[in-house]
Amino acid sequence: MTPRRDPIVPDTVLVTGDAGFLGIPLIRFLLAQGHAVASLDIVPFDDPEVRDQITIVNGDIRGERAAAEAMQDVLVHAAAALPLFAPREIYTTGVAGTCMVVAVAERHGSGASSISPRPRSTASLITIP
């Protein structure tokens, strides 16, 4: 049986941070709901169960070219640098990277939401008209 799709949600969803602990289950969920999925991460996506079902863009969310190449109808931004990274990497990924993908999504006309991958922080929703 083919999963029923929500007619309000656009066809293709870009998930940033696809190799992370939020990205992988989110991609599986979106695929199970019948959505096409693209991913953007600096870390290669290696989930063998769904790897062949998504469009993978390997790149840094802080780079406009990678963000523009990967952008889709909807952006779900779940990328972050792990706490074991240098503080500057954590900051530039979290702040500059978020600014970059949201700016590209806005130019592209994508809707966007940002999910904080840090367990102690509050998830936030960014809506771009």
49 pLDDT exceeds 90?
A: yes
5 pLDDT exceeds 70?
A: no
Burial class of 6 by CB neighbour count within 10 A (0 to 12, 13 to 18, 19+): exposed
- What domains are defined for the chain? 12-114 (3.40.50.720)
Residues 102-129: tens digit of each pLDDT: 999 989 888 766 554 444 333 344 444 4
The DSSP code for 124 is B
* Amino acid 114: pLDDT: 57
- Provide the pLDDT confidence category of residue 54 given band limits of 50, 70 and 90: very high
Amino acid at 43: V
Compute and round to an integer the Cα radius of gyration of the chain: 14
Which H or E run includes 108?
Answer: helix 98-108
Residues 64-108: tens digit of each pLDDT: 999 999 999 889 999 988 888 899 998 999 899 999 999 999 898
